[in-house]
Amino acid sequence: MSESTVSGEEDWQAWVGRKETIHELIAPDRAAALGATLGLEGNRAAGAPLPPGWHWIFFNRVVPRQQLGTDGHPRRGGFLPPVSLPRRMWAGGRLTYHKPLIIGREAERESTIVKVEAKSGRAGKLVFVTVSHSIGCDGALCITEQQDIVYREAAAPGAPAPAATPAPQDGAWSEEFRPDTVLLFRYSSLTSNGHRIHYDQAYARAEENYPDLVVHGPLTATLLQGFAERHAGKPLKSFEFRGVSPLFVSSAFKLEGKGDASALDLWAGGPNGALAMRAAAEV
């Protein structure tokens, strides 16, 4: 059955246009902590540019413990619509880098809900929420971004995983990355992400039907952006990514890509050759 638009339990269109603004210091110690977590050397002192994708460790609200759901996420409501479907995932996004965020400066992120759409298909009921972000520093626009968030029904116990999409086999560059439980714990902490699939193995297996702890999608996207800059030798102008299938802490995966002086085709591939994330970048 192909996906089709369906009516949700609420009129989600009432949430379109909702805005939120967060101010935060791009703190040197936080940037240094992410560099250490990823095992990357570099200047993280005040005045240095923040690498692409690293802004995701900022602008994340920390809610009181009693306001968390059983999955570790904040309970439904607040800025995002209170969709009742239990599984929430960051499915992908599009970013444009106008100028670097500067470590040690205060930045502002203005967020707007631009689309909410309910659908049904092979995966059951789905609700897609698109959020637009504008991030500025010292009065200048630095990053514009759209995030695609999807809410899904719970996985049926024992349900087989969807058929894998094969990763491309024609990459010009390749790096292996091996996640571990400490990496996932530290990244969850830095991003204020309480989702239990990243650190609670029993929950990930019993409640969300995963075989092991799940690697964060934004972590994979951050790794792909750094991978792109290393091989292009130039800063990113834009980056677009889409999650295809999860990666797990028990297995190494590959960052791969190809391209020319200005445009790059990138992907992350799991240990069984399955495509985990597809991305495109301009430098």
Report whether CATH 3.10.129.10 matches the domain 155-283: yes
Q: Answer whether 31's CB lies under 8 Å from 103's CB.
A: yes
In this prediction, residue 105 has a pLDDT band, given cuts at 50, 70 and 90, of: very high
SS3 259: strand
Mean pLDDT check: name the lowest of 102-106, 157-161, 218-222.
157-161
H-type alpha helices, 157-279: 181-190, 201-206, 217-232
242, 212 Cβ separation under 8 angstroms:
no
The number of residues in the chain equals: 283
Q: Which two tokens stand for residue 180?
A: 């571990």
Q: What is residue 76's three-state secondary structure?
A: coil
Higher local confidence (pLDDT), 6 or 280: 280
Residue 4 has pLDDT above 70, yes or no: no
Q: How confident is the model at residue 97 (pLDDT cuts 50, 70, 90)?
A: very high
Q: Quote the pLDDT of residue 123.
A: 66
Q: What is the domain class of 1-154 according to CATH?
A: alpha beta
As given in the structure block, the two tokens for residue 259 are 């391209």
Give the model's pLDDT for residue 5: 39
Position 169 confidence tier, pLDDT thresholds 50, 70, 90: very high
Q: What is the residue-averaged pLDDT of the chain?
A: 91
Q: Cβ contacts of residue 158 below 8 Å, gap of 6+? A: 209
**Residue 159 pLDDT grade (very low, low, confident, very high; cuts 50, 70, 90):** low
Cα separation, 63 vs 54, whole angstroms: 21
Measured between alpha carbons, how far is 41 from 129 in angstroms, rounded to an integer?
36
- pLDDT value at residue 120: 82
Q: Once rounded to an integer, what is the mean pLDDT over residues 165-179?
A: 95
What average pLDDT does the segment 114-129 reach?
A: 86
pLDDT at 91 over 80: yes
pLDDT of residue 266: 98
Q: Please report, as a single letter, which amino acid is at residue 77.
A: G
Per-residue pLDDT at 74 = 86
Query: Distance between CA 227 and CA 268 in Å, rounded?
Result: 11
Runs of H (alpha helix) within 4-51: 28-38
Higher pLDDT, 29 or 3: 29
- Does the pLDDT value for residue 6 go beyond 80? no
Determine if the pTM surpasses 0.75: yes
Which pLDDT does position 113 carry in this prediction?
Answer: 96
CA–CA dist 94, 107 (Å, integer)? 20
Q: How far apart are CA 283 and CA 260, in angstroms?
A: 10
Burial class (CB in 10 A: 0-12, 13-18, 19+), 206: exposed
Checking if the pLDDT of 29 tops 80, the result is: yes
Q: How far is CA 177 from each of CA 53, 111, 245, 252, rounded to the nearest angstrom?
A: 17, 32, 16, 6
Residue with tokens 């092979």, as numbered in its chain = 122
Let me know if 86 is exposed, middle or buried by CB neighbors in 10 A (0-12, 13-18, 19+). middle
95, β-bridge pairs: 145, 239
> Is pLDDT above 70 for 92?
yes
Domain regions of the chain by residue span: 1-154, 155-283
**Do the first three CATH levels of 1-154 and 155-283 match, i.e. the same topology?**
yes
Q: 2 pLDDT band (50/70/90 cuts)? A: very low
